[in-house]
Amino acid sequence: MADTIHLPPLPAQPADVAWPTDTWPEGVPGEGVDTQRLEALMDVAFSDPAPERMGETHAFLAVQGGRIVAERYWRDYTAESTFPSWSEAKSITQALIGVLVREGLIDIHAPADVPEWSAADDPRGSITLDMLLRMSSGLKFTEDYVDSGVSDVIEMLFGGGKADVAAYAAALPLEHAPDTFWSYSSGTSNIVARCAARALGVSGDAFRDFMFRELFDPIGMSSPVPKFDEAGTFIGSSFCYCAARDFARFGLLYLRGGIWDGRRILPDGWVDYARTPTPAVPDAEPLGYGAHWWLGMAGPGSFSCNGYEGQYTVLVPDKDLILVRHGKSPLEQKEEVQKWMANVGDCFRH
């Protein structure tokens, strides 16, 4: 599923470390980790009151070699607290498509199953799930979390489109020819989520059951709270609340190539597909993009689930490292938080 581009190998679970299906193994940072710098960075992030340049950090944990090696929570937050995913949910949606690919129920390179595009002369009919997952569909969509006068994402999630988020997004016209232009769009993720439901022939509670049966339960994620619209579509762009340790479990599934304790959850090559760079990401975008995963936040080869206001699950294969951060950081603080995540990742490089 991946192109011939070089991708760093994904590390195997250490033979002497239990899979965290029930509880997380805990340890200490390995030899060569700059623990003094790591603690200093955490002290800054968890300052109370919160540092103005970063906003509030509510949770942080680092997993290395399959063990939690650092963990901290702000004020009354705990390991049992659930945090908003925002767009981290997009990567969960990508995993659900992977399960369907594994079962032979969906073909990401075939035209997407979108009824609004079914007319023979509709140019949107050539859009595939692959294009949607790589944000290269060409559909018009304004991703702006501040200006409700022009924002499709606000209108879709909280305005006139909230009852049927996929229908709202699917009704939008093409702005570019499919597969020629990259543009980040939460609308495409909700179209993808509805395609998953249509491939299964279920929605609402039955789709939630599928999420837990095929993805969450097998890897020990007990905290997820996925949200659905009135049409029964998982709002796969934005809403799957989880505890920080469960976001780390999701990250570990990808860091281990889609295998969990000997069981293949995601099809062979699916993780490589997620982290293979998509062409035409603008130079102005500081990070690369794969298939519903971001690329490069913690250095070359790293890939991540990124959510609004600083929700991050970052994977660093060459260090067998997962970094999870949740908080409330306004948009103008985004770059500072991402820089902090990169600096934390550097503490583990030697």
CATH number at residue 182: 3.40.710.10
- Give the model's pLDDT for residue 41: 98
The number of domains in the chain is 1
Answer yes or no: is 7 within a domain.
no
Instruction: Give residue-wise pLDDT tens across range 174-220.
Output: 999 999 999 999 999 999 999 999 999 999 999 999 999 999 999 99
DSSP-assigned letter for residue 278: P
Q: Pairing state of beta strands 303-307 and 294-295?
A: antiparallel
**Which of 248, 244, 233, 223 has the alpha carbon at shortest distance from 192?**
233
d(CA 88, CA 292): 9
Answer yes or no: is 272 within a domain.
yes
Place of tokens 């070359």: 300
Q: What is the pTM of this model?
A: 0.96
DSSP letters, 60-126, are: EEEEETTEEEEEEE-TT--TT-EE--TTHHHHHHHHHHHHHHHTT---TTSBP--GGG-STT-GGGG
| Cα-based distances in Å from 234 to 64, 113, 221, 229, 274 | 32, 16, 17, 7, 20
SS3 (DSSP) at 228? strand
DSSP-assigned letter for residue 139: B
Backbone torsions φ then ψ of 60, nearest 5 degrees: -145, 140
Answer yes or no: is 161 within a domain.
yes
Answer yes or no: is 326 within a domain.
yes
Instruction: Give residue-wise pLDDT tens across range 42-90.
Output: 999 999 999 999 999 999 999 999 999 999 999 999 999 999 999 999 9
Answer yes or no: is 97 within a domain.
yes
10-18 contact pairs (CB < 8 A, 24+): 10/255, 10/256, 10/257, 10/271, 10/317, 11/255, 11/256, 11/317, 11/320, 12/256, 13/66, 13/256, 13/261, 14/65, 14/66, 17/65, 17/66, 17/67, 18/66
Domain encompassing residue 250: 35-347
**Which of 213, 216, 292, 205 has the alpha carbon at shortest distance from 247?**
216
Answer yes or no: is 11 within a domain.
no
Answer yes or no: is 296 within a domain.
yes
261: left (phi over 0), alpha (psi -120 to 50) or beta: left
Answer yes or no: is 150 within a domain.
yes
Please list the ranges in the chain whose pLDDT falls under 50. Answer: 1-3
DSSP letters, 284-341, are: TSSSEE-SSSEE-TTSTT-EEEEETTTEEEEEEGGGTEEEEEEEE--GGGHHHHHHHH
